[in-house]
Structure 1
Amino acid sequence: MKKIRKNYSLEFKIQAVSLSEQRGNVSLVAQELGICKESLVNWRKLHKEGKLTKEKQIPSDPIREELLRLRKELEETRLERDILKKAVGIFSKRDG
């Protein structure tokens, strides 16, 4: 059976770290939030290293923003192209 991996928002992670630092008990906070203790320990480590911040999520460089937008658009265009190729193949087989 495939294990499903949960994704938590940045805000949730920051709030969980803050709560665990206030209370001091990582295990109890993790249990209350319904998350794995190891995840919370990892988030605390990332927060201490400065890697778990809101600033990371906001690209400040307009060139980088444009590059990310164009890459996303290219991926969507490729997906549409592949769907259309399959549709042409399906319809051409029916006619024959």
Structure 2
Amino acid sequence: MTPLTITTSPTPAALVLEVAGDLDHTNAQRLRRAARQATLPAGRLLAVDLGGLSFCDSSGITALIAVRSHAVSVGARVVLVDVSVNMRRLLNMTGLDRVFDIRDAA
């Protein structure tokens, strides 16, 4: 098991949440909390960088949906960046590839 780390970095283009390690039922609430605590004004882009994500279970997927819901509720946009092939497959199988904006880079 790889410990989860979440780093928040403001950039001129977006607020970036870098998610690395295992995102699962034991720690998914940390991602939700990080999104709620981030300063995210209307019109701002929230880039969730999944390049360091090594594992994601259904609780992690639910946390990503909650992050998107929070951002939309405050008028912000969300993009997932650096998404692995396996994670893209999971998003595709669940239909979430039509919900999330998925890009190679922010």
Larger Rg: 1
Higher relative contact order (CA closer than 8 Å, sequence separation 6+): 2
Q: Please give the range of the TM-score, normalised by the shorter of the 2 chains.
A: under 0.3
